[in-house]
A = this chain, B = another copy of it.
Amino acid sequence: MLVTEKRIIRPEETSERTLEEIGRRAKAAEPVLRIMGTTKKNEVLLHVADALIKEQNYILGKNAKDVEIAKENGMEPGMVDRLMLTKDRIAGMAEGIRQVAALPDPVGEVTSMKQRPNGLMIGWKKVPLGVIGMIYESRPNVTADAFSLCFKAGNVVILRGGSDAFLSNCAITKVIRTALAEKDIPEDAVQLIEDTSRETVKAFMQLNQYVDVLIPRGGAGLIRSVVENSRIPVIETGTGNCHIFVDESADFDMAIDIIFNAKTQRIGVCNACESLVIHEKIVDAFLPRLKARLDEKHVEMRGDEKACAAAEGLVKATEEDWGREYLDYILSVKTVKNIDEAIAHINRYNTGHSEAIVTKDYANAQKFLNEIDAAAVYVNASTRFTDGYEFGFGAEIGISTQKLHARGPMGLDALTSGKYIIYGNGQIR
């Protein structure tokens, strides 16, 4: 029996595969997926969606056990809700897979083909990344999402879900693997690492001979651990200390609507606003009106000296507040002399996610777009739009906050690489 962080896994639930074997099986499945046609991939995805519905009672039964164990372990109700599956949520998972089937396949597109003076024709063709490792936390629907996106882009995926959702993830993976086998596709196109211990996840991050890229999805602690320990190239996702700068010329009503939306529409997400930067010339007139609106949702505001003087009821911010991703009804407020100070402050404390300016001034709008260093930079809109669906990608595997390979919301394209294809007729150097 394997003992993981909080639970004991019964042998009948595990395949007892070693990581090495999981890696080898993934590599063996890779060539099949690499050259699979779009029609076949879509047919398989639709079959998997149907299988999830057909086997929903099996999945719900396993999920109920996860929920039971989580409650026994004293998990918070909000977290239990994220863990829990229902018929509706399984239908949502299946619908998500059908939507992925309907998306255009990025693989195989030759995005350029040029002739060199020596007659060589050199083209760049999109190809799958290969084997993708996903490390994620409690929500079991990520299991189906990650599989469908990786599969559509021709990739094999190795999943390592959180221990809380262990039985649910096993069940979902089993249903998907069975459906794959029914369509004569290697089951190992998706594998779940069944030992959720910290040692095993660390060993997984060393598997660079088998895994081409690792995508962690979860809290800041998980992502830091992956970046520090992985030998596999990582795409960092997630943490968002997002700012909104209210410029001197801002339309107050627009600024208040945008801030209210970005702060309170959903507090636990990475594109929520965590910090305001306000031009000092308008802070006295603007802040009391904003405070009144945010009071509707009992948002705590933590301000610098000028902000605290401008409206009643603000708490004094400490240096630490400027770098915090609260994920809560809390907002820090910094006043600045001009847009240069605003940009310097944001570029110092942001996490490279989403930043917005509210302004009527053309030059300041352009300056902000040019000089802010982040994945998504907005003029006069809520930071909440940084999302694969909102950007029109049809799906999202995460939001990259690094600069290599992909930046911002990652759709199917981010799950591809490319290769040069060269047509010659005997050329030598």
Contact = CB atoms under 8 A, between A and B. Distances in A.
Interface stretch (A75-83, A133-141, A225-233, A283-291): A225-233
Contacts of A375: 419-420
Interface stretch (A144-152, A179-187, A376-384): A376-384
Nearest to A386: B420
Interface string A383-409: 011100011100000000011110110
A36 B333 CA distance: 31
A421 interface: yes
A390 B115 CA distance: 11
B129 A429 contact: no
A292 interface: no
Contacts of A122: 391-392
A258 B428 contact: yes
A69 to B, nearest CB: 35
B231 A233 contact: no
A116 interface: yes
Contacts of A258: 426, 428
A120 B382 CA distance: 11
A208 interface: yes
A13 interface: no
B402 A233 contact: yes
Interface string A241-269: 00000000001001001101110010000
A289 to B, nearest CB: 16
A404 B129 contact: yes
A429 B390 contact: yes
B231 A404 contact: no
A403 to B, nearest CB: 4
Given A233-B233, A233-B402, A418-B407, A392 B116 contact: yes
Contact of A422 (B373, B379, B418, B424): B379
Interface in A195-242: 208, 212-213, 227-228, 231, 233-235
Central interface residue in A208, A234, A403, by most chain B CB within 10 Å: A403
Contact of A227 (B130, B212, B231): B231
Contact of A429 (B31, B254, B384): B384
A144 to B, nearest CB: 24
A142 interface: no
Nearest to A230: B231
A418 B390 CA distance: 18
A400 to B, nearest CB: 10
Closest 6 CB pairs of A and B: A381-B424, A261-B428, A403-B417, A405-B405, A381-B427, A376-B420
5 contacts: A34-B373, A122-B391, A228-B231, A261-B429, A408-B419
Interface of A: 31, 34-35, 114, 116, 120, 122, 127, 129-130, 208, 212-213, 227-228, 231, 233-235, 251, 254, 257-258, 260-262, 265, 347, 369-371, 373-382, 384-386, 390-392, 402-405, 407-408, 417-429
